[in-house]
Amino acid sequence: MKIDFAFAQVARVILNKPAGMKEYASQRMSAACEALRGMPPYACPLSCSRCCHGTILMSYVEFVHLLHVLQGKLSAAGVEKLFARRLGVLEGGDKLLCPFVDDKKENEHCTVYGDRPLICRVFGTSASPCDEDIVHPYFPDALFYRAYNLLYYAEDGSFIGLPLTESLVLYEAAFDLWAVADSGHEAELMKLFARYGGMRSLICDLVENRFFTMEKGGGRLYL
Provide the minimum distance between the beta carbon of 53 and ligand SF4 in the complex, in angstroms, as a whole number. Answer: 8
Least Å distance, CB 167 to ligand SF4, is: 31
Diameter over CA atoms, the chain: 49
Residues between 11 and 40 with contacts to ligand SF4, criterion CB under 6 A: none
Closest CA to 88 of 156, 10, 13: 10
Q: How far apart are CA 151 and CA 159, in angstroms?
A: 9
Which one-letter amino acid corresponds to residue 117?
P
Choose the stretch contacting ligand SF4; rule: CB under 6 A; options: 20-28, 93-101, 125-133, 189-197: 93-101
CB of 172 to ligand SF4, least distance (A): 15
Q: Helical H runs in 94-163? A: 118-122, 141-152
Is the Cβ–Cβ distance between 58 and 32 less than 8 Å? no
Among 110, 130, 134, 160, binds ligand SF4 (CB under 6 A): 110
Contact in structure between 175 and 58 (CB atoms under 8 Å): yes
Residue number with CB closer to ligand SF4 (2 or 210): 2
Q: Can you tell me the distance from the alpha carbon of 54 to that of 76, in angstroms, rounded to the nearest whole number?
A: 27
Q: Report the nearest approach of ligand SF4 to the CB of residue 112 (Å).
A: 5
Query: What does R_g of the chain's alpha carbons equal in angstroms?
Result: 17
Tell me the closest approach of the beta carbon of residue 56 to ligand SF4, in angstroms: 4
Question: Whose Cβ is closer to ligand SF4: residue 40's or residue 54's?
Answer: 54
- Sequence-distant (6+) residues with CB within 8 A of 18 are none
Candidates 3, 10, 64, 98: give the one binding ligand SF4 (CB under 6 A). 98
List binders of ligand SF4 among 39-68 (CB under 6 A). Answer: 52, 56
- Applying CB under 6 A, the span of 24-32, 36-44, 107-115, 187-195 interacting with ligand SF4 comes to 107-115
Give min distance, CB of 191 to ligand SF4, in A: 26
Tally Cβ neighbours within 10 Å of residue 15.
Answer: 17
How far is the C-alpha of 21 from the C-alpha of 161, rounded, in Å? 13
Would you say 131 or 156 has its CB closer to ligand SF4? Answer: 131
Question: What residues make contact with ligand SF4 under the rule CB under 6 A?
Answer: 52, 56, 98, 100-101, 109-110, 112, 116, 120
